[in-house]
Amino acid sequence: MNDTQPRQWLLEHLRLGHALCVILDADGEQPMLQALIKNSRPDQYLSVYSKTLIADLSEVGPFVFTFDNPNDKNLQELLKRPDSHWGWLASLPKGHLPKLVGHWRERLIVGERPHQAVYRFHDNRVLARALAYLPVEAHAAYLGPVNSVCYWQGDRWEHIDNSSPGIHPVPEVPLWLQVPTPEQQARATRRINARRFLLAEHLDAYAKLAEHEDPDAWLRATLDQAEAWNWLAPEQLAFFLTQRLQTPTRTPTQWQAREGESPEEHFERVRLMVDFWQGEASL
């Protein structure tokens, strides 16, 4: 695997006087995270999730590290295994680390409670799909203060320069949230967000479920059923997960889709039925 291109990119941006950054996905990279922390000053790294609504997940969320040595042994190890999807590289003006982290914190949480999701900007696959989809004029609002990014795209290294680095407001309708997601990645993201929703909103019921069955297997089966019914909107998933916790071993037969019923009609019928059973509506 040839790391010539990222090395050339690193040397060029070092020559230009930029700070070099590693955006690291700490989930699955704990040994690397600890090695980078050990070899960095406190002002050289920040956790993106800290001081946000998901601060309790900061240890497994993205960290941003700045460095000025392209031969750093930890960096070289990362460059040798780009297909492990550890994150990506960025360059930015020196001293702008807090601005970069603030930029992504503003774009981190998608949606409104209780139907929120986390935007996984630190995943190189997410970044690559967004940059391939966005028009050039939308890159600045997406990349913020960075001058350039370098990332692994499937089977090769790519880099894109930001034509207008700086602090930009979040657009009313962020185009990067409209990027089509490959189904395998969409399933993985739904599973991550569903688990976070259960831990945040229904911790006791989810813990009780774990006393009797494998919670991961239950979650996979529940999401498979939601997918089969095409109940994939945040409101639909939150409703289905919440109700299934009350009857974790079976789905009521009355919930099955009827012939000719659209997913929206199916969901609305079941929602009204549940409201009626709970004394909140009349049929």
Question: What pTM does this model have?
Answer: 0.67
CA–CA dist 267, 226 (Å, integer): 10
> For residue 1, what pLDDT is reported?
37
State both tokens at 11.
């040397």
**Relative orientation angle of helices 234-246 and 203-210, to the nearest 10 degrees:** 50
Q: Look at 114-123, 165-174, 244-253 and tell me which has the smallest mean pLDDT.
A: 244-253
pLDDT tens per residue, range 80-122? 999 999 999 999 999 999 999 999 999 999 887 777 889 999 9
> For residue 2, what pLDDT is reported?
47
Residue by residue, what is the 3-state secondary structure of 162-213? CCCCCCCCCCCCCHHHHCCCCHHHHHHHHHHHHHHHHHHHCHHHHHHHHCCC
Q: What mean pLDDT comes out for the span 24-47?
A: 96
> For residue 153, what pLDDT is reported?
93
> For residue 176, what pLDDT is reported?
95
Q: Exposed, middle or buried: residue 127 (CB in 10 Å: 0-12, 13-18, 19+)?
A: buried
CA–CA dist 46, 150 (Å, integer): 20
Q: What mean pLDDT comes out for the span 75-82?
A: 95
Is the model's pLDDT at 38 over the cut of 70?
yes
Of residues 51 and 4, the one with the higher pLDDT is 51
Asked if residue 115 lies in contact with residue 234, where contact means CB atoms within 8 angstroms, the answer is yes
Is the model's pLDDT at 65 over the cut of 60?
yes
Name the pLDDT band for 196 (thresholds 50, 70, 90): confident
Q: Where are the domains of the chain?
A: 4-176, 184-277
> For residue 283, what pLDDT is reported?
46
Q: What mean pLDDT comes out for the span 191-211?
A: 90
Asked if residue 47 lies in contact with residue 58, where contact means CB atoms within 8 angstroms, the answer is yes
Name the pLDDT band for 4 (thresholds 50, 70, 90): low
pLDDT above 90 covers a percentage of the chain that reads: 77
